[in-house]
Structure 1
Amino acid sequence: MNKAVFLDRDGVINEVLTDRVKFVNRSDQMYFFPGVAEAIRLFNQTFDYVFVVTNQGGVGLGFMKEAQLQAIHSDMITSLQKEGALIQEVVYCPHKPKSGCTCRKPNSKLIEDLARKYDVDVKSSYMVGDTDTDIIAGKKAGTKTVFIGKSDPLADAVYPDLLQAAHWIVDDAT
């Protein structure tokens, strides 16, 4: 079986709710955090797959069309790939918050679907996120979890940014 890292997008890979950008509704609003490409390159050396698993309620709320979101993700993958950082697939929940769908985190369907599709052993994989919903989704799916931020009592580890988390994840996985 394969190993994977599942990454939340907003707040882990890119800025959100900052002075520069509130939400990412266009590709030109995507500002990567420092060290993100380096972190993903580290994952690429140790793991079989790197995935992005993200709630994107802006689609359901009408702030952007699904085609716009797909273009943002395509541009994100291309930009990171130019820096040698490979993301195999991006999956997302486009539904409104509180819509009751099964795919929105904290539900684990997006992670579980990717795990089935790519024959991923979730017990040797990691979910990285910046909210409790990310951590809960990872726990439900059976992954180890890493919180990006100050503290989360549910997470297996807590780091201030993805690059610092990546070093711990790689060490923990090997």
Structure 2
Amino acid sequence: MKLIILDRDGVINVDSEEFVKTAGEWIDVPGSIDAIARLTRAGWTVCVATNQSGLARGLFDVATLEAMHDKMRSMIEQAGGRLGMIVYCPHGPDDGCDCRKPLSGLFKQISEYYGVPLDGVPTVGDSLRDLQAGAALGCQPYLVRTGKGRKTATQALPERTQIFDDLAAVTEHLLDNKA
């Protein structure tokens, strides 16, 4: 199984300091939807692992989050792709859960669901915590310069992190190298 795990905000859609609170505010990063479709057509299973503390903060409810994810899935399907599992952490930063990135609970859910180890599985994020969550389980971290990525690139990154402009560039790399 060729599996890839993506962060959502800042990688697939435009991030906001004010949080993405509605399906209308969910706007794709240029090239991200087509990148996911290309990965799907090349036999990849594309999953999303995302912190969604807006739920704990009362900024939106689960139905609204599902509407955002339905919009994302629909756009990907219209582009000829398919999205696998979406897992999210609904907790706030101080809730003490094991699923909020940089902890690896979301990644463990994906691993258990598909019954595969995550050694070498690409994970794409725009923040240090995205990369740390996957790297802790052996994922190959890819940082994109979209979202918070340019700022993140100035920090100490997990070992073996590769940096690309956006998800489309990561996809191009993976498909060119038959990863």
Structures share fold, TM-score greater than 0.5? yes
Identify the range of structure 1 (40-49 vs 98-107) with the bigger mean alpha-carbon deviation. Answer: 40-49
Give me the whole-angstrom Cα distance separating, in 2, the residues matched to 1:97 and 1:59.
Answer: 12
What is the count of residue pairs matched by the alignment? 170
Give me the whole-angstrom Cα distance separating, in 1, the residues matched to 2:177 and 2:62.
Answer: 36
Q: Is it true that 1:101 corresponds to 2:97 in the alignment?
A: yes
* Structure 2 SS opposite 1:27: coil
Name the one with the larger helix percent: 1
Match of 1:28 among 9, 24, 28: 24
Give me the whole-angstrom Cα distance separating, in 2, the residues matched to 1:109 and 1:161.
Answer: 25
Q: How does 1:32-71 map to 2 (within 5 A)?
A: 32-71=28-67
Consecutive unaligned residues of structure 1, counting only runs of 5 or more, are none
Q: Is it true that 1:163 corresponds to 2:168 in the alignment?
A: yes
Contact 2:3 2:121 in 1 (8 A): yes
1:95-152 alpha-carbon deviations (Å, 9 max, x no partner) = 0112110010011111111111112331241110000000000111211010012325
- Deviation at residue 40 of structure 1 after TM alignment: 0.7
Q: Normalised by the size of structure 2, how large is the TM-score?
A: 0.87
Sequence identity (%): 32
Give me the whole-angstrom Cα distance separating, in 2, the residues matched to 1:132 and 1:115.
Answer: 21
Consecutive unaligned residues of structure 2, counting only runs of 5 or more, are none
Q: Normalised by the size of structure 1, how large is the TM-score?
A: 0.90
* Structure 1 SS opposite 2:72: helix
The alignment's C-alpha RMSD in Å is 1.7
